[in-house]
Structure 1
Amino acid sequence: MHRKLRLRNRKDFSRVYRGGRSFANSQVVVYWSKKHDIPQFRLGVSVSKKLGNAVVRNRMRRLLKEIVRLHADRIVDHTDLILIARMPSVRMSYQELERSVLHVLKKANLLKPRPTRPTS
């Protein structure tokens, strides 16, 4: 994930938490807020110490960032996102976690519609 596409400072996290909207499933929570002065989306990832030691938390952080990186072309622009991992996500496989993240992004209307293929 490029540095420009990351939420890093406390002020941005607080703005999204306070003024944004949230959607969740049992594995992942997404907070999001529109920000029209940025060209693309920006991502922040939060993993609590309740989920495990540093190795577990860093693995979850890497997995979530990788899922978003692979689907970056589908995520709407001008948006700040914060993904929060919940306890069940630690025991999930990559494919299950990917489905869960895409589900919560779709539920929040943060995925661009897929282009329809012409049938002929």
Structure 2
Amino acid sequence: MEKIYRLAKREDFNKVYRYGKSEANRQFVLYYLPQPGNEHFRLGVSVSKKIGNAVVRNRLRRMMKEIVRLKKEQMTPHYDYILIARKPVLEMDFESMEKSIFHVIRKASLVKKSSRTKN
């Protein structure tokens, strides 16, 4: 994920947690906060130690970031997002993880509207 799309500072995470809204499904929790000053969206990813050792957590983080990177044109800009993995994510493959992440993003009404209509 390119630097302009990263949410990295603790104060930014705390601001999203404190003032943002959240949506969840069984596998992920999404916190989001509008940031009109940002041209793009920014994404922070969190995976708890309860989920597994460092190898497992880092692999999940990389997969989550890659899923969002591949679909970044569908993400609504001017928002900060924090995506938190829950325990059931361990049994998922890449495709089902992608569906689950975008399910929680659609649930929050944060998927950018397409200019084309589907037939």
Fold-level similarity (TM above 0.5): yes
Structure 1 residues 118 and 18: CA distance shift in structure 2, 3 A: closer
2:41, 2:54 → 1: CA distance?
A: 27
Identity %: 50
1:49, 1:18 → 2: CA distance?
A: 22
1:86, 1:118 → 2: CA distance?
A: 32
Aligned length: 119
Q: Does 1:104 align with 2:104?
A: yes
1:90, 1:78 → 2: CA distance?
A: 31
Superposition TM-score, scaled by structure 2 size: 0.96
1:26, 1:73 → 2: CA distance?
A: 25
The gaps in structure 2 that reach 5 residues or longer are none
Aligned partner letter, 1:4: I
Secondary structure of the residue that 2:29 maps to in structure 1?
strand
Superposition TM-score, scaled by structure 1 size: 0.95
The gaps in structure 1 that reach 5 residues or longer are none
Aligned CA-pair RMSD: 1.2
Residue 113 (structure 1) shift: 1.6
The equivalent of 2:23 in structure 1 is 23
Residue 12 (structure 1) shift: 0.2
1:43-62, CA deviations, whole angstroms, 9 ceiling, x for partnerless residues? 00000000000000001000
